[in-house]
Amino acid sequence: MMAGAGALSTRPACGQGPTVAHVARFTVHRSGGSLRFQWTMAVTRGAMGFNLYSGLHRLNGSLIGVHPSRSYSYSVRSRARGMFTLHVVLRNGGEIAVPRN
């Protein structure tokens, strides 16, 4: 299991208020040929969705949307190893990366 968290903030774009994305927890579990990603958002203001990466390879086919619950889970069949990254895609066009080894 790989775990971690990150508190991230970006500057406002085009006169919008501040955008804050706070990832309270991010874990990756491997089981055979599958990976299960789980993360919890403490704050989702300004977030549009999420992408998951192994190195430079995006693991999800389309953007994982924000929903009312702050807990997220995504499973994918992959034998990828190494650096995994959760990218928080922001409404202002920015993106924040939260890495896990």
- What residue spans define the domains of the chain? 2-100
Mean pLDDT on 47-69: 96
Q: Which residue has the tokens 């080894």?
A: 101
What average pLDDT is seen over the chain?
83
Q: Are 96 and 90 in contact (CB under 8 A)?
A: yes
Mean pLDDT on 32-52: 94
Print the SS3 string covering 28-44: EEEECCEEEEEEEEEEC
pLDDT of residue 72 exceeding 60, the answer is yes
CATH of 2-100, one of 2.60.40.10, 3.30.70.890, 1.10.1530.10, 3.40.640.10: 2.60.40.10
Residue 17 pLDDT: 45
Mean pLDDT on 69-89: 93
Q: How confident is the model at residue 18 (pLDDT cuts 50, 70, 90)?
A: low
